Structure 1
């Protein structure tokens, strides 16, 4: 057992004794230990390498070298792929010219990622996640392509051609090699991200992230809460508590409810259908805490270093959710497919919007789904999930447009609607992502056959039977909603301008 775990690790085996004691693969132990080390280093980075005490050059160098060290510890020589991918795309940026470099960088970064995913999956360890060096490469790919488009917007396009979001994120000068490597490979995000815009990262390194936030609250000067360096301590403590709970839940229930058990022949033959539905929900519920743990810990690391400040709430308390990747309660209590997707892997959704949906001239929705599938990897299960997701999205939209208004007459009716849509959403999400977990075609189809493709059939019938308003009408209605934000409840009144723009854009994108 220990030998198998050791052989699957391409990084350091220094912690192998710990792996044997707690019965976790060495690559997972390396990852957690490195992230905890990054967390402690982040506090040191914020306190002792504060912009007021040291230069941006030193902060870039330290962040980059620490990132490379963590990558080498976890992935060994495979970490060289991070440098190769960054080196190739930086050379393209320098030598190809700003007019077309965003296209070349997009193809090169995504192509190199796909090459590594193909070789890892079909040459080395199909279906295994041990020492998966392509995980960090997925985040680096997002950063490379985002920056390439932002430079193109800032140096090759006219102001009037840009959307408000593109204008606020546009980069007006070419970054140095050190800045580029620091952005791609810093110790705060090298292992688990999340991705972020280049301008946000640079303002963090330079220590100017807090300056634009000293605005007015309710028409009065926010002097009471005005401060140059708000503390992330309480947010970090809260996020670490969420991590601990998520890890405990995952270790407790993940082995009792496994996704693969849904396709066990004896289980299918002996279990009533309603019990299969319940087990499906519980098994998919058991897989989510590991994502909660990884993404929340990554968010806490960035916050501990002073990165992630997103303005102030109405009561003057600081917000540290600029690069947060999920909202757990909104996910678990989602009452629509849209609400679930709005709050899951938030930064990747922003990346897809910025580099694909906003820019693709032909069928941007299909192009965005395709890009998302390609970015995730080459397992067939990913493509089955995204194709099913398209059908689910259309059916959910049809139900919302034709049914929801009948349940808004009273709070009791609305409660009934919310309960039904919550149950339907959780089953639909679980049904959709089974292939994402099973990965291969045969087990994925086996699961859908055991359910007689009933959800697929129901969604097709709903799409065909229920009319949906044309897109231009939905867009016009959504624009009217965006012009009256006071009707959508209280919102934090001070935050980064491009974050506000992206939130509004995301509402419009997901609604359509």
Structure 2
């Protein structure tokens, strides 16, 4: 079985690795106060431009145009209008680019360009930064630029005021991946003195590198197992459960490795706490919490911990802003943000129902599961079921063709989400009667 969603992550990792020395150089120059604040912004902006062109080629124009337009909107609109306009423009542009991918894959029946897929991934990250910044301005957390349309400021003053915004939207440590870095943290880092700059020990960096290397070795081993085994088209009965779990494990290992590398690049540049410090200060959270993801028996907790900074961003952007069906609307927007491929629409809808069921199931079970042996058995069974549900959702979202999605839905693996859907219906009906 092919995994087209992930085939571009390997070249992305190579470009992220190539950017690592420049991130360390930036951190060093800030530590010795060798760069003025405007020079720091220019260093980050120029690095983003060079990295985008190297990774995306001519497709980088599709990234530069919305970044420029978003910067202009942020600098020219007031706090009331900036989020609505920036959000509408950015999502419209990103949707048009995703439609271009749909046209290539489904109409022309051609494999997409790796550079175009990298551009789409970077556009999705740009959307996070644009909307996060516009929300900060609307909520008063970030002061709006004073050089608006009617301002009498000179062009040089306007450019100086706009430089931090453009630098934030395109700074190279977060261009191709990484947890969402807020504009406040970005500004604190860029404007900070040498005494406030995070310092990294060689041992900490080496240990993180060994972790990434270990994950890469596991990924290659898992890739060999998947390639040598049967696919969903050839499996029978319970063998399909094994095929689904192994393939989904390959996807997850790939993401873990990629997230660790992205996080390390941000830390090397100083935009995250140094290794060993609290990762949650100033709102920074790493994307990968592998221990929780692999041990939790609750799919709702898995959802909050999977790609943590994106989960936080979705919660702030959608979940906290809507009144009717916030969970369903959040997952629906996530499917839109990811590109609205058939497998993604099905997978996110299924995921939303599983989270709803999770809340009711564990709330109901907490009344009856009291003794230690019963709790142990309950946690074991729900952990296994959670892992299989996540494997099912992951596979649904990663496959692109309708035929592959049909093979998954038509296999015995569909029993796992159906069980949760039945329990959701029964427990919701019971809760409604009790109310």
- Normalised to the residue count of structure 1, the TM-score between the two structures is 0.73
CA positional deviation for 1:208: 6.4
Q: Which has the higher helix share?
A: 2
Q: 1:108 to 1:209 in 2, by over 3 A?
A: farther
Cross-structure match for 1:174: 145
CA contact (8 A) 1:105 1:145 kept: yes
Give the 3-state SS of the residue equivalent to 1:257 in structure 2.
Answer: helix
CA positional deviation for 1:378: 2.9
Moved more, 352-361 or 383-392: 352-361
Give per-residue Cα distances to partners, 1:45-104, cap 9 Å, x unaligned: 111233733211111111111111111111101111221011122222333432122111
Aligned equivalent of 1:57, options 23, 26, 38: 38
Q: Distance in 2 between matches of 1:470 and 1:126?
A: 49
Q: Distance in 2 between matches of 1:260 and 1:100?
A: 54
Give per-residue Cα distances to partners, 1:199-256, cap 9 Å, x unaligned: 0111111126986xxxxxxxxxxxxxxxx75536554333322211111111121242
Cross-structure match for 2:226: 257
Give the 3-state SS of the residue equivalent to 1:429 in structure 2.
Answer: helix
Q: Distance in 1 between matches of 2:243 and 2:215?
A: 20
CA positional deviation for 1:392: 1.1
Structure 2 residue 338 is the aligned partner of structure 1 residue 390? no
Structure 2 residue 188 is the aligned partner of structure 1 residue 203? yes
Q: Distance in 2 between matches of 1:370 and 1:127?
A: 26
Q: 1:28 to 1:391 in 2, by over 3 A?
A: closer
Aligned equivalent of 1:89, options 70, 73, 81: 70
1:27-176 alignment runs, 5 A limit = 30-50=11-31, 52-123=33-104, 128=112, 130-131=114-115, 132=117, 133-154=119-140, 170-174=141-145, 176=161
Moved more, 323-332 or 444-453: 444-453
Structure 2 residue 434 is the aligned partner of structure 1 residue 461? no
CA contact (8 A) 2:178 2:262 kept: yes
Q: Distance in 2 between matches of 1:245 and 1:320?
A: 22
Give per-residue Cα distances to partners, 1:421-469, cap 9 Å, x unaligned: 1111011111122221112333212221122842343223201222589
Aligned equivalent of 1:325, options 287, 299, 311: 287
Q: Distance in 2 between matches of 1:288 and 1:129?
A: 23
Aligned equivalent of 1:372, options 334, 342, 347: 334
- Normalised to the residue count of structure 2, the TM-score between the two structures is 0.85
CA contact (8 A) 1:35 1:298 kept: yes
Give the 3-state SS of the residue equivalent to 2:17 in structure 1.
Answer: helix
Q: Distance in 2 between matches of 1:51 and 1:102?
A: 37
Q: 1:181 to 1:152 in 2, by over 3 A?
A: same
Q: Distance in 1 between matches of 2:398 and 2:92?
A: 24
Structure 2 residue 200 is the aligned partner of structure 1 residue 231? yes
Q: 1:47 to 1:281 in 2, by over 3 A?
A: same
1:198-347 alignment runs, 5 A limit = 198-207=183-192, 229-231=198-200, 233-257=202-226, 261-264=230-233, 266-267=234-235, 271=236, 273-309=237-273, 318-320=277-279, 322-347=284-309
CA positional deviation for 1:279: 2.5
Q: Distance in 2 between matches of 1:448 and 1:136?
A: 31
Structure 2 residue 395 is the aligned partner of structure 1 residue 434? yes
Q: Distance in 1 between matches of 2:301 and 2:12?
A: 31
CA contact (8 A) 1:30 1:73 kept: no
Give per-residue Cα distances to partners, 1:365-409, cap 9 Å, x unaligned: 222111111111131111000111122112222220111343332
Q: Distance in 2 between matches of 1:429 and 1:151?
A: 36
CA positional deviation for 1:197: 1.0
CA contact (8 A) 1:139 1:194 kept: no
Q: Distance in 2 between matches of 1:459 and 1:30?
A: 38
Give the 3-state SS of the residue equivalent to 1:281 in structure 2.
Answer: helix
Structure 2 unmatched runs, 5+: 1-5, 147-160
CA contact (8 A) 1:259 1:283 kept: no
Moved more, 298-307 or 46-55: 46-55
Aligned length: 406
CA contact (8 A) 2:259 2:287 kept: yes
Q: 1:232 to 1:373 in 2, by over 3 A?
A: farther
Q: Distance in 1 between matches of 2:294 and 2:357?
A: 20
Q: 1:440 to 1:232 in 2, by over 3 A?
A: farther
Q: 1:455 to 1:195 in 2, by over 3 A?
A: same
CA contact (8 A) 2:104 2:112 kept: no
Q: Distance in 2 between matches of 1:305 and 1:470?
A: 51
